[in-house]
Amino acid sequence: MIQTQTFSHTNTNVKRYVLTNKNGVCAKITNYGAILTSLKIPLKSGDRDIVLGFDSLEDYQSKAYLKDYPYFGAIIGRFANRINLGKVTIDAKEIQLSTNHGKHLLHGGHSGFDKRVWDAEIIGESKLQLSLDSEDGDQNFPGNMKINIIYELNDENELAIYYSATCDKTSPINLTSHSYFNFTGGKENILNHQLQIDSDKILENNSELIPTGNYIEVNNTAFDFRDLKQIKQNIAQVENYDNCYVLKTEGKNLMKVAELYEESSNIRMEISTDFPGLQLYTGKFINVEGNKKFGPFSGVALETQAFPDAPNQPNFSDGFIHPGEIYEQQTRYQFHF
């Protein structure tokens, strides 16, 4: 079942769509930024919201939120994560993209897909489609790109996100969902959550979190999450995880790649995807002024995506979409409670 609600005091084009399955799992999505604003799990103690988000458009546009902008729950594009110096080369021509993270591009530039109003259409009892046209020159990306996102909440307690896009010129592309999870509902931070990631390698970064093109084996390091362990177990060595894990999805349509578990709530989430990478961000720098609920480590982001700076790294899949191609990816989050 899907219901439509008002989400803004002033903008009538912005709505919130409430997807509820037969078990009482409830996902709320707004067509502003295609944001997953809420995901409630029905526990014996009551419904628990397990993602970070707000109840109105005005909260997402407030100065307090945008000052240290954490991208709560948004669909990110055209290119998630970082592009070094905001520069790419296409057909021997260097293109300077929008730079919004020091001298680099982060999450699509100054005005990415996370700040756009999408067209919304309910296409079934459990499916919401969100569509966006990104015009040629948007954040200086080339080509007219058409993007479709479908959220589906099924009765197996699985929230699926289907990504698709086309473009009439060669353009960088890397779409992701930037949801932060906290299975305590904000009563505690996420450091006691247990995490498992099926990955033997992470991308090596420089000091500005730009990939060098090399890989690091996780064996005998703080980055090893091949077995379920508490996030806090090795965090003193790294201070904060903000790393792209190399998944084993190549040549596979869909596979389980990660699991998140919290003991006191007994909530377990399994992530399946066909993306090649998973960005783990433990949220040390979350800071919404005046809101104690949204501070350091208040949520963990597990962003399935292509590799950051892929257009500039010959060792990575190229990170481009070409005319005539259809970009298609999917990620599924299944909940057990």
Q: Which residues are catalytic?
A: 178, 303
What gap in Å lies between CA 129 and CA 124, rounded to an integer?
A: 9
| Radius of gyration of the CA atoms of the chain, in A | 19
157 annotated as belonging to a binding site for a ligand: no
Amino acid code (one letter) for 202: I
Per DSSP (E only), the strands in 9-168 are 15-20, 26-30, 35-43, 46-49, 75-76, 82-83, 87-90, 93-96, 105-106, 119-122, 127-134, 145-153, 158-167
The CA-atom distances, in angstroms, between 92 and each of 88, 89, 104, 189, 228 are: 10, 6, 21, 47, 45
Q: Is 265 annotated as a binding residue?
A: no
Distance separating alpha carbons of residues 91 and 94, to the nearest angstrom: 8
Is position 82 annotated in a ligand binding site? yes
Q: Is 81 annotated as a binding residue?
A: yes
- Nearest C-alpha neighbor of 271 from the set 290, 286, 254, 248: 254
The two tokens of residue 76 are 């990110």
Q: Is 309 annotated as a binding residue?
A: no
Q: 47 exposed, middle or buried (CB, 10 Å; 0-12, 13-18, 19+)?
A: middle
Is 59 known as a binding-site position?
A: no
Q: Which segments are annotated as binding site? A: 81-82, 178-180, 242
Q: Which segments are annotated as binding site for beta-D-galactose? A: 81-82, 178-180, 242
